[in-house]
A and B are shown apart, each in its own frame.
Chain A
Amino acid sequence: MSTDIEARLRDALAARADLVRHEDLTPLATVVPLRPRWQSPWVLLATAAAVLLVLGIVVQGVGGRERSDRIAPQPDGPTLEMPADVGRDWKADDLSRPARVDLDGDGVREKVQFLSEKTDDYAGRVRLQTTLSSTGEESWGIAELTSTIGVTARGAIDADGDGDEELVLPWEDLAAVGGAGHPLVFDLRDGLLVEMLAADPDLLQSGDVAVPGSQTEFYDLVHEQDWWIKGGQVWSSRSVNAFARGNMTLLRPESIVLDTWRWELGDDGVLRPTDQGCAEDSTVEGRHDCDGDQADSLPAVQPAATDTIGIGGEVALDDGGLGYRARVEDDGSGGTLVVDGPGADGLVYALSAPDPRVSTVSPTYLVGFDAASVYVASAADPAVAEVVAQTADLAGLVALRPVGDVPLGTGSDSDGRAYRTWLTKAGAVVTVVEAEDGSWDSWQWARVGGTDIAALPTGRVCFADVTDPSSVARC
């Protein structure tokens, strides 16, 4: 379907994008050196020796203060590590950008350069190099980031409220799906840029953080966490509830409630979470303060997809624009599903369900790539629910195999608990299983490998009438 608004949008985007031409772009150097440059082993040895020597001399503790840059060591405080004076000859990476931070609180922002240690894997250290505007003295710090390329500060904060600023660099786990990391906070102490400690580092992480012991065969539970800078302070958040994560799928409601914290820096150089608050994170609207309704939105169990075709019917599937068509032919002994579309030229599948009903909506959640998928039920047997999808090589159709403890379909399990399965208009296959108190445990099916599908938990809900998914409500 292409509407006027879609056409106008497409044209406007193209017109705006076309305004950017090659000649408008800033001439830039190559992004990174492509191959590790040869480095003399003697230089490496000399550098290593110098590092060891300096580390042996300068590693010591520092503690409380009146102003953070004029402090005296505090014997009982936690141990901060003074930076070694290494890397004076390191060079700033082409993609690194100096930071501007008022480290000494004189109202003039120092320029902090990031000098990268040269290593084969770009995973060396970074020297934070500056000259203090108040004294003209040199100051430095050492950061261990995951990469020395393109070092950029996240911002400046005044977490201890002493009038000078601390420099914040992001440590990022580049291998984590969806990103993960935490802030590194550097404060000027004893004339050097010293990395601060966190009292509860787990709360200062970003990313999907697994709940210990939650791992099952097909999923684990994770809290969504994040950190950011706002109003000259570091803030962090963690979802109140944990959500199921399995095989690259995270099932979270559209809007979730977060606990938030502001991080305050103490005289002892330790960041501590304070001012616990509440925020909501919406996949559409982003993060905002709680507005009173402090609950996650309900799992997406409705609206149910109710339109189907039977034998003799044909339909252009509602599959998000993939463009597949399905029809059910009478083969004498039952129905045969025939699918046409991109990479599918009359693929057939013999339906075993009596009086089969093929949904006009595709269960697209269960296909990890652009391929045909069909949800099949039966007008004669409400117990039947089946998902048929195109194979990975697109050569045929196959029924996806439900695995795990949750049944696919409608009926009662061996414990006498009722369960019901349906497809939503958004293309998710949902099963709800009756709980002891009359509420229902909600599950959503996800691909867990090959042609296997398993149900992942999405929460507990109540229904005024479970046969009508639109009657879903919080319990």
Chain B
Amino acid sequence: MQPAVDITELYAAHRLSLVRLAVLLVDDIASAEDVVQDAFAALARRPGAIKDPSKALAYLRVSVVNASRSALRRRRTARAYSPPHALPPPTPEDTAVLAEEHREVFVALHALAPRQREVLVLRYWSNLSEAEIAAALGISQGTVKSTASRALAALEKIMTTTSGKEQR
């Protein structure tokens, strides 16, 4: 029995958007590509999952989020157990071509806890509903809502603080 969906087609259709999702989570394009490659590899191990395009894409999205979190965790471990909030912001090369107002947001975004960043990226870039985010992250809708709310507040606070320091 042939699968109804060709994984090569999925790869061609969604690789770029998934790499973009991953780069928002893991900072750099090389790691993002690795993460997405792993996600497609994981999908290929589940022949049943590729019979339904919508499920396959949802599966890929979850894989990318989980693999991104693992990549960040491995990176933290490699950096001598720095605490979760001590992840360095994106390198200047990564964000040099971003407009200043975007760069400020992005630096603040990377100061958030991983789960907060995931929720914000899925909500404001992937445009997922709270139910879809809850399913993707394996948490309740209520937690999605509260996490998003706290994350936005934290983001604003960080940006305000940073802006204040720069002005001084």
Contacts and interface: CB of A to CB of B under 8 A. Distances in A.
Interface of A: 3, 5-6, 8-22, 24-26, 28, 30-32, 34-35, 95, 121-122, 146-147, 149-150, 152, 155, 174-175, 178-179, 228-231, 249-251, 254, 283-286, 288, 300, 320-322, 364-365, 367-370, 424, 426-428
A370 B129 contact: yes
Contacts of A322: 129-130
B57 interface: no
B37 A28 contact: yes
Contact of B101 (A8, A250, A321): A8
A211 B84 CA distance: 31
* 4 shortest interchain CB distances as A-B pairs: A150-B41, A426-B142, A12-B105, A320-B130
Contacts of B103: 12
A32 B41 contact: yes
Contact of A283 (B83, B121, B143, B145): B143
A229 B114 CA distance: 19
Given A20-B19, A230-B77, A149 B45 contact: yes
B42 interface: yes
Contacts, number: 178
B98 A16 contact: yes
Contacts of A178: 138
B146 interface: yes
Given A17-B125, A285-B115, 13 more contacts: A5-B156, A9-B109, A13-B109, A21-B16, A31-B40, A34-B6, A150-B45, A174-B42, A250-B138, A283-B143, A284-B116, A320-B129, A321-B129
Given A35-B2, A321-B129, A364-B141, A24 B46 contact: no
Interface string B89-133: 000000101110111011001000111100011001100011110
Contacts of B42: 150, 174
A432 B139 CA distance: 22
A147 B45 contact: yes
14 contacts: A3-B152, A8-B101, A9-B120, A13-B109, A18-B20, A174-B45, A229-B77, A286-B113, A300-B142, A320-B131, A364-B142, A369-B131, A428-B140, A428-B142
A250 B134 CA distance: 12
A368 B115 contact: no
B24 A286 contact: no
Q: Classify the secondary structure of A's interface with B.
A: loop
A31 B11 contact: yes
B31 interface: no
Nearest to A319: B130
B23 A17 contact: yes
A13 B155 contact: no
B51 interface: no
Which of B98, B105, B125, B140 is most buried by chain A, counting CB atoms within 10 A of its CB? B140
A438 B44 CA distance: 54
Contact of A426 (B3, B101, B146): B146
A5 B106 contact: no
B131 A16 contact: no
Contacts of B146: 426
A9 B105 CA distance: 6
